[in-house]
Amino acid sequence: MYDISMTIRKNMLVYKGKDEIRPRLKTVRDFSEGDAHESELQMNVHTGTHVDAPLHMLQDGENANLFFAENPFYQAQLLDLTQLNEKITAADLKEYTIEENSFLILKTRNSEPGFLEKTPEKFIYLAESGAKYLATKKIKGVGIDTNGIERAQSEHPTHKKLLGEKIMILEGLRLKKVPAGKYILLLSLLKIADSDGLPGRAYLFEPGEIETMLKLFK
């Protein structure tokens, strides 16, 4: 099993390294004032590992309530694209066999130690042509190892194409230790009503791993 989620912390990596959107975690009560310790978390719903709802980029798009009825398990396919230096295009993706209804996970140089920390605004992203190509493959969703799926494209065409086709966008993954291959994705999202995005935890299980674990409880 691979936990591919980001850890929420004060100094965590955020979209393009913008300090104003870093999460704020503070103690609001401690044992000097009573018999319990309590903390308060303030953060954007697009912080860390999260999914985008169509409402995030489409004015008349659905909010994240549409994810509430989703089965949290998906057939996933991880592609190793660490050879790319700028963006992921349709030409790059055509080199691979992409299965219909799969949740496609894109591993890039973003997963290399220190790569995003040095230049967080220059992450590898999915270009518009790549999004258009994936829409033709009828995939269930697409995930990437950075805080945003696109970087410097006017009018956010990658988001709009995928979300317009009801393809889930999963951002903020940690894929350094995960090899290319087929997996089962477990996507556990916070149930926040009427939101444009949902933070959550994401795990990849190797084929047969879930069945093996279930046998232990019989």
Pick from 93, 127, 106: nearest CA to 4: 106
Read off the pLDDT of each residue in 49-53 and give the average, rounded to a whole number.
98
pLDDT tens digits along 83-128: 999 999 999 999 999 999 999 999 999 999 999 988 899 999 999 9
Q: What percent of the chain has pLDDT over 70?
A: 98
Residue 28 pLDDT > 70, yes or no? yes
pLDDT tens digits along 162-192: 999 999 999 999 999 999 999 999 999 999 9
Cβ atoms 76, 186 nearer than 8 A: no
Query: Checking DSSP bridges between strand 2-3 and strand 197-205, what pairing results, if any?
Result: antiparallel
Read off the pLDDT of each residue in 199-204 and give the average, rounded to a whole number.
98
Pick from 166, 202, 174, 172: nearest CA to 187: 202
> In angstroms, how far is CA 61 from the centroid of its own chain?
19
Read off the pLDDT of each residue in 187-209 and give the average, rounded to a whole number.
95
Which tokens in the block code for residue 145? 């190892």
Question: Does the pTM of the predicted model rise above 0.85?
Answer: yes
pLDDT reported for residue 218:
66
Cβ atoms 28, 40 nearer than 8 A: yes
Which tokens in the block code for residue 212? 């093996």
Residue 23 pLDDT > 80, yes or no? yes
Residue 12 pLDDT > 70, yes or no? yes
Residue 133 pLDDT > 70, yes or no? yes
Q: What are the φ and ψ backbone dihedral angles of 52, each rounded to 5 degrees?
A: -100, 135
Residue 211 pLDDT > 80, yes or no? no
pLDDT reported for residue 108:
98
CA separation for the pair 72, 59 (Å, rounded): 26
Q: What percent of the chain has pLDDT over 90?
A: 89
